[in-house]
Structure 1
Amino acid sequence: MSSNDPHHENQDEYLQADDAEEVYDRDEDQDMDVDGEYDDQNMTIEDEITFQNDSAAHFDSHTDSVFCVAQHPVHNHIVITGSGDDSAYIFDSTPAPRPVLPSSFETTPQPREREALTPLAKLDGHTDTVNAVTFTEPTGEYAITAGLDGKLRAYRDTTPQKTGLAWEFFGEAQEVEEINWMAVCPYQKGSEEKKNVIAIGANDGSAWVFRIDHTDAANPISIIQTFFSHTESCTAGAWTPDGNLLATVSEDGSFFVYDVFGAAAAAGIEYSPGTNAVLGLNAEDQRFAVIGGLYTIAISPSGGIAAVGGAEGNIRVVGLPRITASGPSAKGKGAAPKSAGATAAGTIMASLQTQTDNVESLSFSQAPFTLLAASSVDGSIVMYDAAHRFAVRRHIQEAHDGAPVVKVEFLPSNRQAGAPVSGPLASASAAQNNRSWMLTSIGLDGVVRRWDARGGTTAAAQGLMQEWKGHMGLTENEDGEQSGGIMGFVQNFDGKRIVTAGDDGISLVFEE
């Protein structure tokens, strides 16, 4: 953040822009659906399929809703999906070459239907929904699946050159009743203790950190740390970019930050009283209280700020401890900053409530555009400007035509782990593509949208750049049960490919 603001970090740089809020209603001139607006009562499967399919490829081996998707950290065209059919699949998302159109329909009178992508591996063994999947860092040596059966299952890449084309099961662990989320620990060169490490959060409020190592035949999935600070379900978690700290939130409205590898303790940062966390906040502090719980978390690229979101559109922005070679930038909870411009750990930097329903996801943009985007069940996207005390920069009220916005994500940077990225679409680095202003969103309307966060330059000054359709939108059956929409997505580091997880049981590949 700006260096002359004592409430923010020196390392963050932000847009120099007006504080004025831009509010957009996406009803104008947008032919987004058959009737011009989102209608979950009248939309049918036939309407969605015949309307538009912009995908370049599709994967349809799952027999139930696809709830999660993850991308290989090196071979980013390799993805893994998890489903309500209790299985996961690994497949290559590269679309087949486009066929040459015939010069005459006399030679090719009937075009053939596009074939689905074929799986590289089916990962089974779960007895309930697979709701979290990941590849470990730095090289994607292991693929991990987690389920509502409480199981972690580990698979290793058996190809000699580690190309991600063949996988073999080697270990399973079950320490909890249900796993809610899984997050891979970021790896940086030289930090061998963070290699092939993952964290999970469980429905009993606990958080666990595991190391994966197939060469340890007796204990291939070993426990590094366990944390039991939350009193209700642990709903989300995120690592700081250096992999030193793990932050988690819960339905009980609490927020904890854990010193997983002891780096904070070695730097002199004290733990919060009565816990093994370097930072802890809950509803007892009325400034932090969110009635209804917290459900999502994001950490800034500098690692100095955490944003947590929850019920009724509430967001809290909190300063995190800084770990430096010479010592902590903030020692203990709420201590004064060590230098001007640093934020004390535990300081509540902003209390936000622009949206009216639960915050579904949060995302910080990469430098130099350090914005915070939030998506909500109320169908809106809000962008906050951290350079001006998190003032609302833009409020897109009908971002997905009234449907809940499931996830937003700014274009990610290239590998912080330092591992080279390979694959057909991996040549551009963050410095080369320089599109950290690009925000991608998905909704229960079954649409993927791409936004320009720099300003309202396109689509009636809303910032809408592009959209892709192909998934079934939200529908309701005779029993009143709703289904449809997109549950998750991953995007390549250059932003040119997006792979989705659809509630219709299909993963679609979209390309610019």
Structure 2
Amino acid sequence: MSSSNPRDQKEPVDEELEEDMLAADDAAEEIPEDEDMAMDSDNEEILLQNDSIGYFDEPKDSLFTIAQHPKYPSIIAVGGSAGQEDDAPGAGWVFNTASVQSRPPLPASFSSDPAADALKSTQVSPLSSLDGHTDSINTLTWTLPRGDVLVSGGLDGRLRAWKATFLNDGQPIMDFLGEAQEVPEVNWLVPCPSSTNPNTVALGASDGSVWVYTIDPTDEANSLQIVQSYFLHTGSCTAGAWTPDGLLLTTISEDGSLYVWDVWGEATARNLIGDNGMTAVALTSDDQRFEVEGGLYSLAIDPKGAFVAVGGATGAIKIVSLPRLASTGAQPQARSQARGKNTSQSSSTPGGQILAALHTQSESIESLAIVTTPNTPPSTLLAAGSVDGSIVVYDATRRFAVRRHISDAHEEHAIVKLEFIPNSWQLTSCGMDGVVRRWDLRGAGATNPNATATAAEAGLQKEWKGHRGDGEGGGVLGFVQGQTGERIVTAGDDGVALIFEA
């Protein structure tokens, strides 16, 4: 009779299996613990830091651009994509940061109420939505001088405009005006600062073309009016900027060319126009002194309009003089007779001279910023941010000598944007590490300015965290800080706009 319990039946033992079995003496052996810490992935913690006092999280995907109203700095516009799908349309929003309360100077533990909770970030709600783009909104700007119109540019090639009407409580009502679509993709938009040509914007396109529009918010039938269009760039037009007086427009391209356009005919009136009848300055890679391998991607104009700095793919920077357009107004008769000629014509000078060629950084220059400092006599500083994660500050008043070289300013991550607080020594930067930092550039910094400096030596004043970074679907793709720098509002690749207090 067989056993009812199968375990009572003995099975033959495999000899090879028996050889692999652990001996009793070995099983009893104790293995001493070494100094290595035990790893337990289940208990892994991710420490997150959020220094923001407010946030806007309506977007479902990356925010690529941000713009601040010139008259009401609490009014912010952001734009990006409506979703992660390839065919997701563009999306944008307008919101007001005025409701976000400032933080007290002391932490919550010093509060008179021991039970008081730590202050949390204030959520901001949208005031208006910006729709109508079939692809991501790539750039936004408010027109000058009053911010009458908000203009958006998209990867769908559309230029769309909204009229902003402000109520007594400071809240805007956004009414769609119209759109134009003349290009494959809009790369950038910049407003013209000329008081005699208000509500004018320039755009650069992926096909290399440059367009200037004047927007009339009172003309609903034809609100977007083309002023000029230019087609000399042979590669994508990567950046543009107006001179401080708004008379000339400077643009650069992937083909390595730089053009200064005479939009309003002021250079022509002073006989400073080139042979093509359109530009006051024209430099291309055909000139070996100006050639930058890989093309040009960033530019900044001196606040006094004396020169333009352009940055290229290999870390090279070229400094080029700009035309000086003297006033055409009548001069005092005695002064004119003393000089024996028209002084306004004699003080106009051409541009296009290569003043300096700089090459301190190793990779593409993604952002340039220039400021005139408040000291006496004032200095002019040029800051350059690179994909290699470094920031280099040059002193234009000392033949563009290196004043500060901050390696790993955003660790190993690319610098996205640099901006000085106007008329100050303070420089704000953001990068793909998801961090915003502010630097105080007073003093000489490191003993040898040509040597790389640590954050402390470089004058790191403060930093703000809250965005994802380190390549984890994050990074700060833009920010605004107004004229005082007291509040910084960001546009994050993680689809969040954060409000920080300096």
TM-score class, shorter: 0.7 to 0.9
Q: Percent same amino acid among aligned pairs?
A: 50
1:498 corresponds to which of 484, 488, 502 = 488
Q: Is the 8 A contact 1:79 1:90 kept in 2?
A: yes
1:262 corresponds to which of 262, 265, 268 = 265
For residue 490 of structure 1, what is the amino acid of its counterpart? V
Query: For the structure 1 residues 344 and 195, does the alpha-carbon distance in structure 2 shift closer, same or farther, using more than 3 Å as the test?
Result: closer
Q: Is 1:65 matched with 2:75?
A: no
Equivalent residue number for residue 475 of structure 1: 471
Q: Is the 8 A contact 1:187 1:195 kept in 2?
A: yes
Q: Is 1:352 matched with 2:358?
A: yes
Q: Is the 8 A contact 1:296 1:308 kept in 2?
A: yes
Q: Is the 8 A contact 1:487 1:503 kept in 2?
A: yes
**Cα distance in structure 1, aligned partners of 2:170 and 2:194:** 19
Q: After TM superposition, give the deviation of residue 344 of structure 1 in Å.
A: 4.9
**Cα distance in structure 1, aligned partners of 2:211 and 2:59:** 29
For residue 323 of structure 1, what is the amino acid of its counterpart? L
Equivalent residue number for residue 97 of structure 2: 93
Q: How far does the alpha carbon of each residue in 1:79-124 deviate from its partner, in whole angstroms, 9 at most, with x for none? A: 111112211111112353369868354xx7x879644201111111
Q: Secondary structure at the match of 2:409?
A: coil
Equivalent residue number for residue 394 of structure 1: 404
Q: After TM superposition, give the deviation of residue 353 of structure 1 in Å.
A: 0.8
**Cα distance in structure 2, aligned partners of 1:112 and 1:346:** 54
Q: Is the 8 A contact 1:75 1:164 kept in 2?
A: no
Equivalent residue number for residue 222 of structure 2: 219
**Cα distance in structure 1, aligned partners of 2:350 and 2:91:** 44
- What is the CA RMSD across the aligned residues, in angstroms? 2.4
Equivalent residue number for residue 315 of structure 2: 313
Q: Secondary structure at the match of 1:166?
A: strand
**Cα distance in structure 2, aligned partners of 1:113 and 1:344:** 56
Equivalent residue number for residue 465 of structure 1: 461
- In the superposition, the TM-score normalised over structure 2's length comes to 0.79
Within 5 Å, give how 1:336-415 maps onto structure 2: 344-367=350-373, 368-412=378-422
- In the superposition, the TM-score normalised over structure 1's length comes to 0.78
Q: Is the 8 A contact 2:53 2:121 kept in 1?
A: no
Equivalent residue number for residue 236 of structure 2: 233
Equivalent residue number for residue 498 of structure 2: 508
**Cα distance in structure 1, aligned partners of 2:433 and 2:121:** 24
2:151 corresponds to which of 103, 127, 144 = 144
Q: After TM superposition, give the deviation of residue 269 of structure 1 in Å.
A: 1.5
Q: After TM superposition, give the deviation of residue 460 of structure 1 in Å.
A: 3.2
Q: Is the 8 A contact 1:369 1:436 kept in 2?
A: no
Equivalent residue number for residue 18 of structure 1: none
**Cα distance in structure 1, aligned partners of 2:265 and 2:442:** 39
Equivalent residue number for residue 252 of structure 1: 255
Q: After TM superposition, give the deviation of residue 366 of structure 1 in Å.
A: 2.6
**Cα distance in structure 1, aligned partners of 2:169 and 2:325:** 34
For residue 368 of structure 2, what is the amino acid of its counterpart? L
Q: Is 1:489 matched with 2:479?
A: yes
How many residue pairs match? The answer is 420
Query: For the structure 1 residues 144 and 46, does the alpha-carbon distance in structure 2 shift closer, same or farther, using more than 3 Å as the test?
Result: farther
2:165 corresponds to which of 153, 158, 172 = 158
Q: Is 1:174 matched with 2:164?
A: no
Q: Secondary structure at the match of 2:314?
A: helix
Q: After TM superposition, give the deviation of residue 455 of structure 1 in Å.
A: 2.2
Q: How far does the alpha carbon of each residue in 1:329-378 deviate from its partner, in whole angstroms, 9 at most, with x for none? A: xxxxxxxx967xx9751100011111000000101013433100000000
**Cα distance in structure 1, aligned partners of 2:424 and 2:266:** 30
Q: After TM superposition, give the deviation of residue 276 of structure 1 in Å.
A: 1.5
**Cα distance in structure 2, aligned partners of 1:265 and 1:463:** 45
**Cα distance in structure 2, aligned partners of 1:98 and 1:182:** 32
The structure with higher relative contact order (CA 8 Å, sep 6+) is: 1
2:280 corresponds to which of 255, 268, 278 = 278
2:81 corresponds to which of 59, 84, 87 = 84
For residue 59 of structure 1, what is the amino acid of its counterpart? F
Equivalent residue number for residue 41 of structure 1: none
Q: After TM superposition, give the deviation of residue 494 of structure 1 in Å.
A: 1.1
Within 5 Å, give how 1:422-461 maps onto structure 2: 436-455=424-443, 460-461=456-457
Q: How far does the alpha carbon of each residue in 1:208-240 deviate from its partner, in whole angstroms, 9 at most, with x for none? A: 000111222321111000011100110100000
For residue 190 of structure 2, what is the amino acid of its counterpart? A
For residue 462 of structure 1, what is the amino acid of its counterpart? A
Q: How far does the alpha carbon of each residue in 1:119-155 deviate from its partner, in whole angstroms, 9 at most, with x for none? A: 1111111000101001111111111111000111111
Q: After TM superposition, give the deviation of residue 275 of structure 1 in Å.
A: 5.1
Q: Is the 8 A contact 1:319 1:346 kept in 2?
A: yes
**Cα distance in structure 1, aligned partners of 2:100 and 2:287:** 55
